C-alpha cells in the first residue's frame, strides 16, 4: 500500500504573483473558463538554470526523470527564523544520502504563508550545504519557504542558486504539508509546466510513501 501526500500550495487569486479572472461564464458563453496570470515563481515552483543565468537550460528542457526520485525528509521543525541551514542540521541523514537522492527540508514554514515572515525571515540553505548537495550529487532539493536563500540579499540569493543550479540540482521552493509525511524516505515528484524558454514554473509536487 502507498499513500500520496500533496505538497503543493493551493493557488488563489490575490496571492503574490497569482491572478485568476473569469474569461467565460456558463450563463453568457455556455461554459466556464478563467484567465490565469502566474508569476513563474509563484506558489510551489521549480527553478530552471536560466533563472540565475547558470546556463541556457530552460524549464521545458529539463528531463522529467530529473524531476522525480527518492528523497530523504529532514525534520527541522522549530528552526529559528533566518537560520542558516548547514550540513550539521542533516543529522544522521547526511550519511545516508547517495548520488541521485533528493532532500526535503521540513521546517514548518508552510504554515506561515500570508505572514510577512514567510518571505522576509525564512530559514535558508547555507552556501556550505549548497556545495555539499552539489558534491553529493543530490538530485532534488525541496524547501518550504519561497526560496532556498534570503530573497532580500541578492549576493546570497545568487551564490546559493548558482551552486545548486550549476550542479544540476533541481530546486523546488514553496512546498507545503511536509509535516504530513510519516516516512523518513519517500518518492518525491514535482512536474513543471512545459513553458518554452521558461526560467521557472509552478509545479504540482507530491510525496509517495509506503504504508
Report pLDDT digits (tens) over 187-203.
999 999 999 999 999 99
Report pLDDT digits (tens) over 27-62.
999 999 999 999 999 999 999 999 999 999 999 999
Q: Which residue is associated with the grid cell 504554515? A: 111
Please report the pLDDT score of residue 56 as a whole number. 96
Please report the pLDDT score of residue 211 as a whole number. 83
Is 2-9+40-210 assigned to CATH 3.50.30.50? yes
Please report the pLDDT score of residue 1 as a whole number. 87
Burial of 35 (0-12, 13-18, 19+ CB in 10 A): exposed
Report pLDDT digits (tens) over 53-112.
999 999 999 999 999 999 999 999 999 999 999 999 999 999 999 999 999 999 999 999
Please report the pLDDT score of residue 16 as a whole number. 94
Which residues carry out catalysis? 51
Taking the CA atoms of 41, 132, 99 and 97 in sequence, report the sign of the dihedral they define: negative
Report pLDDT digits (tens) over 162-182.
999 999 999 999 999 999 999
E strands in the chain: 2-6, 18-24, 33-38, 45-47, 68-75, 84-85, 102-106, 124-125, 140-143, 170-173, 185-192, 200-210
Report pLDDT digits (tens) over 57-74.
999 999 999 999 999 999
Please report the pLDDT score of residue 52 as a whole number. 98
> Residue 204's pLDDT band (boundaries 50, 70, 90)?
very high
Report pLDDT digits (tens) over 115-131.
999 999 999 999 999 99
Q: Across the strands, what pairs with 173? A: 45
Please report the pLDDT score of residue 166 as a whole number. 98
Amino acid at each position: 500500500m502507498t499513500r500520496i501526500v500533496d505538497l503543493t500550495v493551493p493557488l488563489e487569486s490575490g496571492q503574490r504573483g497569482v491572478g485568476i479572472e473569469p474569461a467565460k461564464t456558463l450563463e453568457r458563453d455556455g461554459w466556464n473558463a478563467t484567465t490565469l496570470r502566474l508569476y513563474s515563481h509563484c506558489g510551489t515552483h521549480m527553478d530552471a538554470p536560466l533563472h540565475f543565468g547558470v546556463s541556457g537550460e530552460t524549464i521545458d528542457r529539463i528531463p522529467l526523470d530529473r524531476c522525480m526520485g527518492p528523497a530523504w525528509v529532514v525534520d527541522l521543525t522549530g528552526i529559528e527564523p533566518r537560520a542558516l541551514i548547514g550540513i550539521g542540521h542533516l543529522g544522521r541523514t547526511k550519511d545516508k544520502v547517495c548520488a541521485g537522492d533528493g532532500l526535503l527540508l521540513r521546517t514548518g514554514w508552510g504554515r506561515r504563508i500570508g505572514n510577512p515572515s514567510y518571505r522576509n525571515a525564512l530559514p535558508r540553505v547555507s552556501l556550505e550545504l549548497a556545495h555539499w548537495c552539489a558534491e553529493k550529487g543530490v538530485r532534488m532539493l525541496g524547501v518550504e519557504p519561497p526560496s532556498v536563500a534570503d530573497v532580500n540579499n541578492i549576493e546570497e540569493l545568487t551564490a546559493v542558486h548558482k551552486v545548486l543550479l550549476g550542479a544540476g540540482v533541481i530546486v523546488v521552493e514553496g512546498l507545503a504539508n511536509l509535516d504530513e509525511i510519516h516516512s523518513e524516505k519517500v518518492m518525491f515528484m514535482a512536474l513543471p509546466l512545459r513553458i518554452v524558454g521558461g526560467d521557472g514554473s509552478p509545479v504540482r509536487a507530491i510525496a509517495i510513501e509506503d504504508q
